[in-house]
Amino acid sequence: MTNVILRDIRKTVDISLPSFPESKIVLYDGLLFGQMKKIGEAKEDMDRGILVLQYLIKDWNFTDEAGKKMVVDEKNLNILPIKDLQILMEKANTLLEDITKKKVESSKEQ
């Protein structure tokens, strides 16, 4: 039996936000099982959406006024203008829908 390394195999995609043209946000193309479990435990849609973004955003180049990199958390996501948050959510939905489509198509091929 061959050993197989279990690791995070997700790919990433980069986007920028209209309000911050210099921004670079690196998004994973899907979620991990443990993340889905925690998202499912959230009681409100808004809480689920924030969790999805926190899990999908691998990295970003936002800093505070002192130049310190800002963590991807609810506090900092709350600072974003709603139009930018909507774009992030739309991209997240698209990424998750693409993963679902691929799974359905691959299961039909078998």
pTM: 0.82
Give the separation between CA 1 and CA 46, rounded to whole angstroms: 45
| CA distances to 6, 7, 83 from 3, in Å | 9, 13, 46
Q: What is the pLDDT of residue 46?
A: 87
Q: What is the pLDDT of residue 55?
A: 96
Q: Find all residues with CB under 8 Å of 85, minimum gap 6, and list them.
A: 53, 77
pLDDT digits (tens, 9 = 90+) for 50-106: 999 999 999 999 999 999 999 999 999 999 999 999 999 999 888 877 655 554 455
Q: DSSP for 38-62? A: HHHH-SSHHHHHHHHHHHHEEEE--
Rg (CA), the chain: 16
